Amino acid sequence: MRLKAILIPLLIVITAAFLGSGYAIHSLRSTKQEYTIQNACWRVNKKMDLQDSHQRALVAMIGLFALRESEVLYFVASEDSEGRPLDAQYDYVLEGLEMDARYWSYTLYGADFFLVKNEANKFGFNMDNVQYDEAPAHEEYPSNRKKTYTIQISSTPKTHNWLPSSKEGQFHINLRMYNPEKSVYENLDSISLPTIRRIEQ
């Protein structure tokens, strides 16, 4: 009887904690739009002052150790350019241009916003290691023309700019822009950002 008297309250506490944390996470995910700006399939946090407790909890959940927006902007894509959730059962092609920033990079995260394990140990690309598209024959990129690139996102190996999505279901792409130009801050909802196209099988 004594054991039963101890176990029942303990189970109630554990169940309440589980349900409470689940509700809190769901609530944070559903209210994140309050703090972000939409640009095509990308969302960016417009202010990282962390003055609001909900915003601090959200950053702790999906962007631990995030820097202030004055240093870096974090654009996150959880859907393709057609509005469909990114899913590892499909292949995708990300097409973009050089960014108006001192430095930029892409990182792929799983549904839990942690790096996706893969045998190739590849988790992203940046402005220094991505392979840019070649200029047309007998032509060099003019200094005022941005270079283009494509990144192939797939659970199976590819030969060009391959970013493994493993086979863990939903995933997210994080585009970081470090010290972006002033024009980026002024046009967060309209600047040109990469497209993410799903390859139909």
Give tens-digit pLDDT for 77-130: 999 999 999 999 999 999 999 999 999 999 999 998 899 999 899 999 999 999
Beta bridge partners of 115: 109
Output the pLDDT for position 156: 94
Tokens coding 119: 């045998």
Q: Give the pLDDT band of residue 19 (cuts 50, 70, 90).
A: very low
Do residues 47 and 54 make contact, with C-beta atoms less than 8 angstroms apart?
no
Between CA 164 and CA 89 the distance in angstroms is 12
**Binning pLDDT at 50, 70 and 90, where does residue 145 land?**
confident
3-state SS, residue 55: helix
Helices of type H across the chain: 2-31, 53-62, 182-186
Q: Which of 45-59, 105-119, 183-197 has the lowest mean pLDDT?
A: 45-59
Percent share of the chain, pLDDT over 90: 56
C-alpha angle 50-43-68 in degrees, rounded to nearest 5: 30
What tens digit of pLDDT does each residue of 61-71 get? 444 445 556 68
CATH code of the domain in which 19 resides: 2.60.120.600
Domain containing residue 140: 2-199
Q: What is the mean pLDDT of the chain?
A: 79
pLDDT the model gives residue 154? 96
How many domains in the chain?
A: 1
